[in-house]
Chain A
Amino acid sequence: MEFTAKVEIENLNMFYGDFPALKAIRLRIPQNNVTALIGPSGCGKSTLLRCINRMNDLIEGVHTEGRIIIEGQNILDIGTDVVALRKKVGMVFQRPNVFDQSILDNLKFGLRIHRQMRSKNETMEMIQKGLEDVGLWDVLKDKLGQNARQLSLEQQQRLCIARVLLLKPDVILLDEPCSALDPIATMRIEELLRVLREHYTLVIVTHNMQQAARASDYTGFLYLGELVEFGLTEDVFTTPQKKLTENYISGNFG
């Protein structure tokens, strides 16, 4: 497969205590594409995702080996500035994690902790751009003072994506971003991912195979901590190379 890789994962092993959660993962994540990670519960897909911005560091007893290269830097190196990394590699979670504050303050939050606040006008321009990119500006421009928790779940999730976008990340990690949403909202978020990939590299973890098929360009299938197969989504879902992948996507197990 020929593509420019944004993230290169080399021989990655990760342990929760003695338990090997990821085994010798080798994966090149293509730039400006949506990559889906699929597999049954406990296969390591979320763990792998969280390695890419070192969210697993927050868990006690985690031990990681191998390399994850982003723009020539091994982000697993001890000296890595993890806060800067998480600005460059943003994350969107399963349930929209908006704060019990106004929409505006929610958006300013990331800018503040990453010291990205500019003049009032400049900040507002950034916020407008962020909300436009997620299709919320027209709806919310007159109610930025409203509490963000009053928004629909879909709008809250879009707001979370906007909050990530404001920090101008290169990579956006999405961990089951639609699992709290209804099918129509899910479809709209999937459409949004299609648009965002023109400027960002997206990696999405989903237990919903249909979503992986619809929304991604590349798919990786994980099983028991191993990357069984990785390829173009259309190839993985029409002519998988491994029997295990075929059995999983056909619903024979998992």
Chain B
Amino acid sequence: MRDSFRKHIQILESRVVAMGQAVEKAIRSSIQAMKDRDMKQAERIIKDDELINAQRWKIEDDCVNLIALQQPVASDLREMIAILNIITDLERMGDHAEGIAKIVLLLGKEDPVTPMTDIPVMAEIAVEMLCKSLDAFIHRDAKAAESICDMDDKVDQLNDKVYRELINKMLVRPQDVNRATYQIWAAHNLERIADRVTNICERIVYLTTGSMHKLPNVSSY
């Protein structure tokens, strides 16, 4: 039965990667929509989040069936557990992208309080982390998974920088408080996305080595 089990696992893995790619697209699009103040795009992202949620339920359902029917043990069991955790993080990352899209709607056509420079960089790093983590998942590369976590520091630093700059702007121009707060939220969503990638990396290490621990360089939230 292991051959057919392996086939099921491969299908599951490709579904996880497809879900990850959908999340990646949502993150990129949400930041682009924020830069372009493109509300139609934002609405699309919000609607498409339902598709990401549906992908998560499908994968979870498949995992439950495989666990019930194939009784996986050892690394097969770890893979099931890892996938269940990974899709939860991916689904939440989709929610963060949706959160940014909602901020785009709140900001409307108004100019940002500070130029949109650091937030897109944060998004670029977060997306790169996500892509690398999916790669590490497919290749069972625990070392790559651990090194991805180093990139989280940069996202945290940029988030602090964006936060400080916007707080200063609020102090100087209280009428900008709303818009500045929205920008802080957007940065915060990206910071959380990067954190969730580190969760995925921890699951890859668990799946590959069996060791369940917080990775070094990962900020506790």
Contacts and interface: CB of A to CB of B under 8 A. Distances in A.
Interface stretch (A9-17, A97-105, A163-171, A233-241): A233-241
Contacts of A194: 1, 4
A214 B69 contact: yes
A191 to B, nearest CB: 6
Interface string A161-196: 000000000000000000000000001001100100
A216 B69 CA distance: 9
A206 to B, nearest CB: 13
B3 A191 contact: yes
Given A190-B1, A191-B3, A191-B4, A210 B64 contact: no
Contacts of A187: 1-2
Nearest to B3: A191
Contacts of A191: 1-4
A26 B49 CA distance: 45
Contacts of B68: 213, 234, 237-238
A215 interface: yes
- What is the predominant secondary structure among interface residues of chain A facing chain B? helix
Contacts of A215: 1
Contact of A213 (B2, B3, B64, B71): B71
B209 interface: no
A214 B65 contact: no
Contacts of B69: 213-214, 233-234, 237
Among B3, B64, B69, residue most surrounded by chain A Cβ atoms (within 10 Å)? B69
A187 B3 CA distance: 10
Contacts of A214: 1, 69-71
Contacts of B65: 234, 237-238
Interface string B113-125: 0000000000000
B194 to A, nearest CB: 35
Nearest to B67: A238
A187 B70 CA distance: 11
A206 B68 CA distance: 17
A191 B1 CA distance: 5
Nearest to A249: B68
A237 B69 CA distance: 7
Given A234-B65, A238-B64, A238-B65, A210 B4 contact: no
Contacts of A237: 65, 68-69
A214 B69 CA distance: 5
Contacts of A213: 68-71
A213 B70 CA distance: 7
Given A238-B64, A238-B65, A210 B71 contact: yes
A238 B62 CA distance: 11
B88 to A, nearest CB: 19
A237 B181 CA distance: 50
Interface string A192-227: 001000000000000000100111000000000000
A236 to B, nearest CB: 9
Contacts of A190: 1
A233 B3 CA distance: 19
Interface string B69-108: 1110000000000000000000000000000000000000
A42 B2 CA distance: 31
Contacts of B70: 213-214
A238 B69 CA distance: 9
Contacts of B3: 191
Contacts of B2: 187, 191
Contacts of A233: 69
Interface in B1-19: 1-4
A244 B1 CA distance: 28
B173 to A, nearest CB: 57
B115 to A, nearest CB: 52
A101 B100 CA distance: 76
Contacts of B71: 210, 213-214
A89 to B, nearest CB: 25
B10 to A, nearest CB: 16
Complex A-B, nearest 6 residue pairs according to Cβ-Cβ distance, in ascending order = A237-B68, A213-B69, A190-B1, A234-B65, A214-B1, A238-B68
8 contacts: A191-B1, A194-B1, A194-B4, A213-B68, A213-B69, A214-B69, A233-B69, A238-B68
Given A194-B1, A214-B71, A238-B65, 5 more contacts: A187-B1, A191-B2, A213-B71, A214-B69, A215-B1
